[in-house]
Amino acid sequence: MLLQIQHITKCFDDRTAALTDVSFSVDQGEFVSVIGPSGAGKTTLLRLLNGAIGCDQGAILYQDEHFEAARGRRKRVMQKKTATIYQDFCLVENVSCLQNVLNACLPDMAALPASLGRFSRTQREEAVRLLTRVGLEDKLDTPVKNLSGGQKQRVAIARALLRRPLVLLADEPVASLDPATGRQILGLLRDIQQTEHLTVLMNSHNLALSREFSDRLIGLREGRMVFDGSVQEATPNVIAAIYGTAIPE
């Protein structure tokens, strides 16, 4: 199993229980969407999975290796098993698409070549290949600030893939895009997931898009996992149990 989440509990300092006893596993090549109302714990789950925060109880295993217990250098090695894309892209606006993608190499480079931006030929070729894969081969030298939202998310996807992650974590990746562009971006992610056997774990408040592009849905409500099943198994009753009375479109 690629990823195992075992009895995870996370409380914040003010004693808010963001997640309580959450357990599920993800196989390589799956596209899983985590759904649920605002405040259900979706973002907290992703932050635990990329190591931004630690859990209070439970275990997270990537390829049977404990992630939550890793410290120091080992933790940094483990963190490379994931890459995250965000709603607001988190790119450097004033520099080119190519440079933004190459920036993914910086944490692994020695201080001097990193500060001088001395990337290897292989790194450059891979960055160009990935920008071509996401449809931006004609924007390599364009500053990110001159791109549309959808194009920015394509750059972010290319940057994430340069890290060769085991799992691509996507935190509301199309929430700031118009519906048509959002569908294009999820179509691209789905295509990459299927052709390159990538594993994707996405947070989304857009139920229709989650249903359309995922293999499987995880339903969170008030920090507890209330559903884990295929899109077909997520019947209206299941959706009502996840969202309460406010069933989204």
Please return the burial class of 12, using the count of CB atoms within 10 Å of its CB with bins 0-12, 13-18 and 19+.
Answer: exposed
**Which member of 22, 35, 41, 207 binds ligand ADP (CB under 6 A)?**
41
Helices within the chain (DSSP H only): 42-49, 72-79, 97-102, 111-116, 121-133, 149-162, 179-196, 207-213, 236-243
**Which member of 20, 33, 44, 79 binds ligand ADP (CB under 6 A)?**
44
Q: What DSSP designation does 148 have?
A: -
Q: How far is the CB of 43 from ligand ADP (least distance, A)?
A: 3
Q: Is 14 in the site for ligand ADP (CB under 6 A)?
A: yes
Q: How far is the CB of 221 from ligand ADP (least distance, A)?
A: 9
**Which member of 40, 130, 131, 162 binds ligand ADP (CB under 6 A)?**
40
**Which member of 36, 51, 58, 165 binds ligand ADP (CB under 6 A)?**
36
Q: What DSSP designation does 249 have?
A: -
- Helix, strand, coil shares of the chain as percentages rounded to 5? 40, 25, 35
Residues β-bridged to residue 19:
10
Q: How far is the CB of 14 from ligand ADP (least distance, A)?
A: 6
Q: Is 38 in the site for ligand ADP (CB under 6 A)?
A: yes
Residue count, binding to ligand ADP (CB under 6 A): 12
Residues in contact with 218: Cβ distance below 8 Å, sequence separation at least 6, in sequence order: 24, 32, 33, 34, 35, 225, 227, 228
173: left (phi over 0), alpha (psi -120 to 50) or beta: alpha
Nearest to ligand ADP of 6, 43 (CB atom) = 43
Q: How far is the CB of 36 from ligand ADP (least distance, A)?
A: 6
**Which member of 18, 22, 78, 131 binds ligand ADP (CB under 6 A)?**
18
Q: How far is the CB of 20 from ligand ADP (least distance, A)?
A: 11
The footprint of ligand ADP (CB under 6 A) covers 12, 14, 16, 18, 36, 38-44
